[in-house]
Amino acid sequence: MPAQAPTKKFFSLEEAVALLPFVRATFAEAHKAMLPLRDEVILYKRLQQSREEEALDYDDPDLVAINQILEEKISAYEDLFRLWIGKLTDKGIQVKQFEKGLIDFPYRSADTGEEYLLCWHLKDDGLFYFHGPNEGFAGRKPITLLPE
C-alpha cells in the first residue's frame, strides 16, 4: 500500500494565536542555539578563503584541516536547523523564512472553503495579517478582513 501524504492541518484564528508563545519561544531558543555555530561557519569560510589564496595546492595540511572543520560545522548547523524547523512543522506550521522568524498558519474559511495563510513575523506583537496562498508576505492584509 503506498504511503499516504500527510493531512494538511488548518488552524482557527484562536488556535494560531494560542500557539504564538510556543512559536516565539522556539525561535528564541533556536536562534540562541544556532547563532554561535553560524558565526563559526562564517569564520571558517573566511579562513578557508584566505588559506586558499595563500596555499600552493589544495593538499595543504592547514587547508585540509580547515575544510574538514568547516564541513563538520556546516553539518552540525544543518542538523540544528532541521531540528528547530521540525519543532514548528510537526505542529502544521509553515516556516517561510526561519532566520527572519516568518511563518504561516494554514487557515480555511468555513464560509467559502477558501484557503488562506495567517501570517506572523517575529517582529509582530500578535497575529495581525493574512494572505492568499500565492501572495506571500508582500500581499499581507489586516486580519480584520479575513473571511470567517
Q: Which pLDDT score, from 0 to 100, does residue 148 have?
A: 87
1 falls within a domain: no
pLDDT in tens, 35-57: 888 888 888 788 777 777 776 56
121 falls within a domain: yes
35 falls within a domain: yes
Give the contacts of 101 (CB within 8 A, at least 6 positions apart). 27, 121, 122, 123
Domain of 85? 13-145
118 falls within a domain: yes
Q: Which pLDDT score, from 0 to 100, does residue 120 have?
A: 97
7 falls within a domain: no
Please state the pTM of the whole predicted model. Answer: 0.80
8 falls within a domain: no
Neighbours of 55 (CB within 10 A): 15
Q: How many structural domains comprise the chain?
A: 1
57 falls within a domain: yes
Q: Which pLDDT score, from 0 to 100, does residue 2 have?
A: 52
Q: Which pLDDT score, from 0 to 100, does residue 114 have?
A: 95
113 falls within a domain: yes
From the list 88, 107, 100, 148, the residue with the least C-alpha distance to 124 is: 100
∠30-86-129 over CA atoms, to 5°?
80
Residues of the chain falling short of pLDDT 50: 1
Q: Which pLDDT score, from 0 to 100, does residue 66 have?
A: 79
